[in-house]
């Protein structure tokens, strides 16, 4: 299982832009996004769900593994050195 960090944001009628981040364990990125989305939507009340549907839900996902966060060489640096 891999760990993914999924960030959600939507426009709320009272609070403005609302952001939330969840970490989930899943075997693939699409599975992680689906699992995190279900958990996020379950945590909202009726009015928040309406606002989310009206303004749209922005989803950003990335692997949360330590190996991914390590700096890597760009393709230009790899070709020259």
In tens, the pLDDT along 42-69 reads 999 999 999 999 999 999 999 987 444 4
Grouping H, G, I as helix, E, B as strand and the rest as coil, residue 1 is coil
The neighbouring-strand residues paired with 52 are none
CA distance 59 to 53: 13
| Beta strand spans in 1-81 (E) | 2-12, 16-26, 58-63
In tens, the pLDDT along 6-41 reads 999 999 999 999 999 999 999 999 999 999 999 999
CA distance 57 to 52: 6
Sign of the Cα torsion 69, 57, 20, 35 reads negative
């Amino acid at each position: 299982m891999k760990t993914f960090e999924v960030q959600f944001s939507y426009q709320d009628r009272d609070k403005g832009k609302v952001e939330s981040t969840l970490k989930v364990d899943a075997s693939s990125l699409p599975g992680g996004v689906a699992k995190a989305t279900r958990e996020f939507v379950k945590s909202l009340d009726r009015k928040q769900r309406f606002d989310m549907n009206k303004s749209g839900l922005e989803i950003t996902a990335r692997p949360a593994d330590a190996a991914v966060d390590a700096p890597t060489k760009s393709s230009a640096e790899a070709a020259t050195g």
